[in-house]
Amino acid sequence: MNTVFIGGSRHISRLSAQVKERLNNVISSGHQVILGDANGVDKAVQKYLLESLYQNVTVFCSGDKCRNNIGQWHTCNVHAASNLKGFQFFAAKDREMARKADFGLMIWDGKSPGMVLNVLRLVRAGKIAVSINMPERKVTNFKTAADWDNFLTQCSVELCGDLRQRATPEEWAPSRSPQQVGFWDATQSAADEPQGPARPAKSDDEVTADINAALAAGDLASTVDALGNIAKACGMAQVAKDTGLARESLYRSLGTGGNPEFATVLKVMASVGLRLVVSKVGSESAAQQ
C-alpha cells in the first residue's frame, strides 16, 4: 500500500471523467489517500471518496479545526508558526503531506500556483507526481528534476515569478534526490504518453569524463549532449538564471542537434561548476613517459 497525496486548485469544484478514472485506480488499489481541507479540488475529491464509500483517507488541516471533512475521516492537524499568514499559513500542511506521501496526484486549473508548488515539493523529495490540467485535459508526469525544468519553460513569466516568491530556498534549489519509478505507470490510462525506463544517474566524475572524452575526440554532438545532461541535473531553471539566458533557448541549444555559441558553452560550464582547460596536443603523453 502506498500513500497518495491528492491536491489541486481551489477554483475547480467538479471533477472530470479523466480525474475520476485516476481516483478509481487509487481506490481499487486500496492506497492511503491524504488530502487537504480547502474548498475546490480538496472538497470535490472528498465528496467523490465519500460517494465511493472509501475509508482509507486522512484529511490534513492547518490549526485545530478542518474547514472540510465531509467523510468524517481521520484528521492530521498541522500547526504553522504563529507569525505566518495567508498562503504561507496553509502551506505548512501541504509541505507535510508532500513529506509523508509516496506519490502525488495534482488537479490543476492551468493558472493557480499552489498546485504547482506541491508538484515542486514532491519532485524535490525524489517522488513521482502527476498533474492533470483539466481545462486542457493534459496529463504531465514528473519523475525527474528535468521534467520540472521542462514544465517551467511552458509556464508564463508571471506564474514563474509567483512560484519563486512563494517557494522556500530549499524547495527552489536544484535537487539530486533519487527518483522513484513504477506507480503511475501502472495506473495511467491508455491515452497518456508511454514512459520509458529511467536511466541511472551518472556521478560527477563520470559526466566530466564524458565531456573530456568528447572534447578530445572533437565530437561536438557528444560534447553538447553531455553538457546538456549536466545542466538538466543541476536544474535548467537555475542555469538560466545564472547565465542570463532563456530556458527555452538553453533546451534548444543543449538538446539533440544543438549548436550553442561558444559564449553559451562557457556560461553554462561556469554555472554547473566546470571550467575549460587547454593543453598542447601530445603534452600529456609526453609528460607521462
Q: What is the pLDDT of residues 132-191, one digit of tens each?
A: 999 999 999 998 888 888 888 888 888 888 888 888 877 776 554 444 545 555 444 433
pLDDT value at 286 more than 50: no
Percent of the chain with pLDDT over 70: 82
H-helix segments, 201-279? 204-217, 220-234, 236-243, 247-253, 262-271
Strands of 30-100 (E only): list them. Answer: 32-35, 57-62, 74-78
Cell 498562503 maps to which residue?
87
CATH number of 3-187: 3.40.50
CATH number of 204-275: 1.10.260
Closest-CA residue to 161 (of 172, 173, 147, 148): 172
Q: Report residue 191 as a C-alpha cell.
A: 491515452
- The 10s digit of each residue's pLDDT in 85-111 is 556 667 888 889 999 999 999 999 988
3-state secondary structure 83-100: CCCHHHHHHHHHHHHHHH
What integer pLDDT is reported at residue 88 of this predicted model? 66
Range(s) of the chain covered by CATH 1.10.260: 204-275
Range(s) of the chain covered by CATH 3.40.50: 3-187
- The 10s digit of each residue's pLDDT in 175-202 is 544 445 455 554 444 334 444 444 445 6
Say which DSSP state 114 is in: H
Overall pTM > 0.75? no
Give the whole-angstrom CA distance, residue 264 versus residue 254. 10
